[in-house]
Structure 1
Amino acid sequence: MIRFSLHCAEGHDFDSWFASGAAFDDLQRRGLVSCAVCGSAKVEKALMAPAVSATRPLAEPQSQIEQAMAALRAEIEANSEYVGMNFAAEARAIHDGEAPTRAIYGEARPDEARKLLEDGVPVAPLPFLPARKTN
């Protein structure tokens, strides 16, 4: 989707969304673009400045809280084993002595996490979602 600032022959300015620049051109050529104010079919794209962000990329932590969260995540990922959706079973096995003791993190459904806590298995929610590997 792309948003264009438009201007009609009667002097009205308005914005509208189109699937692409080519879609706008096709609709305009067929007389299907009209002014949102007066209905005139004599509509042209207005001069637009590109929307360029002068800020840092979104992935870079900006506040002290974001920096602390990024540091926490890095610490957990560097010193723990990600066990994915097997977290509840693995945490229980470690607690029961059936698996080697080690730091783990992963994902669990709310009912699984609640049952672990009820059974005295020491777990805590993390303030971030694990990065998932995808193809």
Structure 2
Amino acid sequence: MIRYALTCDHDHGFETWFASSADYDAQVERGLVECPVCGSVQVRKQIMAPAVSGVRKAAAPDMAKMQTLMMQAAREVRAHVEQNFDYVGDAFAREARDIHEGRSEKREIYGEATPAEVKKLKDDGVPCAPLPAAPPDPAKLN
């Protein structure tokens, strides 16, 4: 595993793990690496000092445990949004813009939007973020 410090075209810094340097290159080329702050896929590596290990070798991260924790966190975020936000369906882009511009009551919403609609919202300064996909039920996994 390789940890890269990345920055987007809006200078938001973040870190991400990749299986290899080639994996990073492939994911960036396909537009799969996204800034967690603004959603931009225009990312680049930052200069990093190499990790120098001492005499002891650090234990490898437990990837299965990390995956379980991430899936649980995604489940909890999604459940919170579904329980506390208003679902507006495919009218999300219009409703988000109306709330931002004061034409609609200020409230938390969620729904569906096309990538083009999301880009336009972000370009116009309307805050929005993707909702984590519902992870599969752990009881139904192989």
TM-score, scaled to structure 1: 0.48
Higher CA-based Rg: 1
TM-score, scaled to structure 2: 0.46
Q: Which has the higher helix share?
A: 2
Q: Using CA pairs below 8 Å that are at least 6 residues apart, which structure has the higher relative contact order?
A: 2
